[in-house]
Amino acid sequence: MGRLEIDRLRKTFGRGGDKVEAVSELSLSVADGELLVLVGPSGCGKSTTLNCIAGLESVTEGEVVIDGEVVTEKRPEDRDIAMVFQNYALYPHMTAAGNLEFGLKMTTDLSAANRRERVESTAELLDIGELLDKKPKSLSGGQKQRVALGRAIIRDPAVFLMDEPLSNLDASLRSTMRTEIQQLQDDLDVTTVYVTHDQTEAMTMADRIAIMYEGELQQVGQPLECYYRPRNKFVAEFIGEPAMNMLRVTRRGDQFVADGFEYPVPERADGLPSGEPFTLGVRPGAIDIVEPETGVATGTVEVVEPLGETSHAHLNIADTTVTVTTDGPGSVEEGTQVDIDFPAQRAHLFDAGSGVAVARRDGLPGDQTESYPNPRYD
């Protein structure tokens, strides 16, 4: 069992004029066996949150609760959690086996034979049997990270905490390890909070993601829910690659207008006041290039980035850059003019001041008749 609750967590560093509020009023529940990914840009308070859960930082206000028990004042070793760090934090003078065994020695009264058994079964699980006698300095980054994972798993904790465990690995190893951690977490069924600033990692691994910005929680939900129904402009821009295009528009009657752009107000946005400014968001993959004179805007293709199957075309529409995901080579030419359009369902609208989403779409694709491209690509 490992249900984790964070209740109105606040953490400030320093005092007086130097005071930094790293985490503000953060409340989150992580279900037993769930993989929650905490994601956000550098400095948004992810590590601080994780350290407060682990007990490595004291909290300023709020509670951390594991399986109904308030652990806020407990020492890290009394919390039934295990943590994996970006820099592995292995003991350099111990072999991989020694590193795996160390936590067991400290926190359990298992016999040496039982400990050895646990080391071996964990090593088998992670496929690091042949590394057991090696010291960290003779291991590669990926191998060190496996040993670090092993050291956490072996303790069979109620909650796993991982702080950017894959950031030091190269791109291809990172994607392999991503899948492995996900499978491992699923097999072991351990409640996990996984911190990353990488939205792809968050989207692909998480049962739910929690998006933070400047110490505040912006949205919690299933990855595709956050992708298709972002609660605010920050989430909309943070999730999805390349980022959602944002256009400053004003409602004029039944159109949203901007320089060089006119878009019919979607039905669900009918209630929004005329004469007011809004931000209209649309993802690069939602935009179609259409026949001349039939689009909602005409843009000049400034740059085309070929990716193979698709390209990213950056258009200039009255001095605003709009990125469009197009078909591969030859579909658009730099320097030409193209017309664009996109389905009303895929237009996002945000309050121009607060950035809060207004007139959000209902439901997610799947219950729609339109076909949607692979959201990981979009």
Ligand X SMILES: Nc1ncnc2c1ncn2[C@@H]1O[C@H](COP(=O)(O)OP(=O)(O)OP(=O)(O)O)[C@@H](O)[C@H]1O
43 interacts with ligand X by CB under 6 A: yes
Pick the closer one to ligand X by CB: 15 or 137: 15
The C-alpha angle with vertex 345 and arms to 228 and 249, in degrees rounded to 5, equals 95
56 interacts with ligand X by CB under 6 A: no
Binding test (CB under 6 A) with ligand X, winner from 15, 42, 112, 137: 42
288's tokens: 């179609």
Stretch of residues binding ligand X (CB under 6 A), selected from 14-22, 27-35, 200-208, 293-301: 14-22
Beta bridge partners of 322: 315
Name which of ligand X, Mg ion, none residue 43 binds, using a CB cut-off of 5 to 8 Å depending on partner kind: ligand X
Contact 104, 157 (CB under 8 A): no
The whole-angstrom separation of Cα 376 and Cα 2 is 30
Pick the closer one to ligand X by CB: 50 or 90: 50
47 interacts with Mg ion by CB under 5 A: yes
The C-alpha angle with vertex 325 and arms to 199 and 228, in degrees rounded to 5, equals 45
The whole-angstrom separation of Cα 239 and Cα 225 is 11
Which residues, 6+ apart, have CB-to-CB distance to 143 below 8 Å? Answer: 128, 131
Stretch of residues binding ligand X (CB under 6 A), selected from 44-52, 111-119, 174-182, 219-227: 44-52
62's tokens: 């709020």
153 interacts with ligand X by CB under 6 A: no
Q: Which position has the token pair 């017309």?
A: 339
Binding test (CB under 6 A) with ligand X, winner from 26, 30, 37, 47: 47
- Distance of closest approach, residue 49 Cβ to Mg ion, in angstroms: 9
- Distance of closest approach, residue 56 Cβ to ligand X, in angstroms: 10
Name which of Mg ion, ligand X, none residue 233 binds, using a CB cut-off of 5 to 8 Å depending on partner kind: none
Which residues, 6+ apart, have CB-to-CB distance to 172 below 8 Å? Answer: none
The whole-angstrom separation of Cα 64 and Cα 46 is 15
Pick the closer one to ligand X by CB: 43 or 129: 43
Pick the closer one to Mg ion by CB: 39 or 100: 39
Name which of ligand X, Mg ion, none residue 22 binds, using a CB cut-off of 5 to 8 Å depending on partner kind: ligand X
The whole-angstrom separation of Cα 125 and Cα 150 is 9
48 interacts with ligand X by CB under 6 A: yes
Binding test (CB under 6 A) with ligand X, winner from 6, 44, 66, 159: 44
List the interface residues with ligand X, window 330-369 (CB under 6 A): none
Beta bridge partners of 289: 340
22 interacts with ligand X by CB under 6 A: yes
Pick the closer one to ligand X by CB: 23 or 104: 23
Contact 2, 66 (CB under 8 A): yes
**Side-chain-side CA neighbours of residue 39 (13 Å):** 29
| H-type alpha helices, the chain | 46-54, 96-107, 112-126, 141-153, 171-188, 199-205, 223-228, 233-238
The whole-angstrom separation of Cα 112 and Cα 287 is 62
Stretch of residues binding ligand X (CB under 6 A), selected from 38-46, 173-181, 285-293, 318-326: 38-46
Stretch of residues binding ligand X (CB under 6 A), selected from 46-54, 113-121, 229-237, 254-262: 46-54
Stretch of residues binding Mg ion (CB under 5 A), selected from 44-52, 104-112, 177-185, 299-307: 44-52
Stretch of residues binding ligand X (CB under 6 A), selected from 36-44, 235-243, 244-252, 288-296: 36-44
Quick one: 225 exposed, middle or buried, by C-beta within 10 A (0-12, 13-18, 19+)?
A: middle
Contact 182, 133 (CB under 8 A): no
- Distance of closest approach, residue 77 Cβ to Mg ion, in angstroms: 22
Strands 4-13 and 61-66: antiparallel
The whole-angstrom separation of Cα 46 and Cα 195 is 6
- Distance of closest approach, residue 26 Cβ to ligand X, in angstroms: 11
Name which of ligand X, Mg ion, none residue 1 binds, using a CB cut-off of 5 to 8 Å depending on partner kind: none
- Distance of closest approach, residue 45 Cβ to ligand X, in angstroms: 4
Pick the closer one to ligand X by CB: 47 or 325: 47
Residues that bind ligand X in the complex, under the rule CB under 6 A? 13-14, 20, 22, 40, 42-48, 197
Residues that bind Mg ion in the complex, under the rule CB under 5 A? 47
